Structure 1
Amino acid sequence: MTKAAVDAYLAALPADQRQALQTLRALLGTLLPDHLEVMSYAMPGFRQPGPKGRMVAGYAAFARHLGLYPHSGNIIPQLTADCAGFKTSKSGVLFTPANPLPQALVERIIRLRQDEIATLGR
């Protein structure tokens, strides 16, 4: 799947969700400039370049919330204090257009995921 599939996913959302996820997408694009925009597990996200590149993070919209998912069950549990005020699961952090994720939290999630990927090797 390509960037066009991501554009189509976002275009189909209500305006408030679309704007919130476009903002998140832009931030992720800045943090992961050489990564590929893809659809994975029916959600947009960013994958490392190369044929064996790992997923770094995905994001999605649902009826009552949005989510950021670092494609690892090890990242969010490390950030309990940082995620105060947001509902979390082992695999992601949930937010709303009215209460978006702080940039510093997104940066920390991405940094931890990249560190984890580096330890896993390719």
Structure 2
Amino acid sequence: MFIEYIAQAPKEHQKYLKKMYQLLKEELPEATEKFSYGMPTFYWKKNVVHFADNTKHLGFYPTPTVITAFKENLTKYKFSKGAVQFPYSEPFDETLIREMVRFRKTELEELQ
């Protein structure tokens, strides 16, 4: 499902999208894949995280609580209440993304 989405992106964006997809699959093996808000979404109890191809950046949407918790770590990126823009002109910080995903997963585990 997401492979087709990635294949439709410009060639120069595909390596970033593939890398994000693989990272999220590793961190969220129990999550299901679906499209939500027109974006690839990993779902486990609720939407965990979305990502999307944009003209100049990979959009990463981990929810506002995650952005708030990691605000200090995001200063080198453009970000808003619920999104981070990882520019295609530089590699994204895999460690930071993994930490953000784990934080979100912990939030969802606490819903039980």
Aligned to 2:83: 92
Query: How many positions carry a matched residue from both structures?
Result: 112
SS of corresponding position for 2:52 = strand
CA shift, 1:84, in A, is 2.2
**Which 4+ stretches in 1 moved above 3 angstroms?**
none
CA shift, 1:98, in A, is 2.3
Q: Supply the distance in 2 between the matched residues of 1:96 and 1:58 (Cα, whole angstroms).
A: 16
Counterparts of 1:1-122 in structure 2, within 5 Å, are 4=1, 6-48=2-44, 53-70=45-62, 72-121=63-112
RMSD: 1.3
Gaps of at least 5 residues in structure 1 are none
CA shift, 1:57, in A, is 0.7
Larger helix proportion of the pair = 2
Larger strand proportion of the pair = 2
Q: Supply the distance in 2 between the matched residues of 1:100 and 1:92 (Cα, whole angstroms).
A: 17
CA shift, 1:119, in A, is 2.5
Question: What amino acid maps onto 1:64 in structure 2?
Answer: K
Q: Scaled by the length of structure 2, what TM-score is found?
A: 0.91
Q: Scaled by the length of structure 1, what TM-score is found?
A: 0.84
CA shift, 1:35, in A, is 1.3
Q: Supply the distance in 2 between the matched residues of 1:60 and 1:107 (Cα, whole angstroms).
A: 17
Q: Supply the distance in 2 between the matched residues of 1:19 and 1:92 (Cα, whole angstroms).
A: 20
Q: Supply the distance in 2 between the matched residues of 1:20 and 1:108 (Cα, whole angstroms).
A: 18
CA shift, 1:68, in A, is 0.8
Gaps of at least 5 residues in structure 2 are none
Q: Calculate percent identity across the aligned residue pairs.
A: 29
CA shift, 1:24, in A, is 0.6
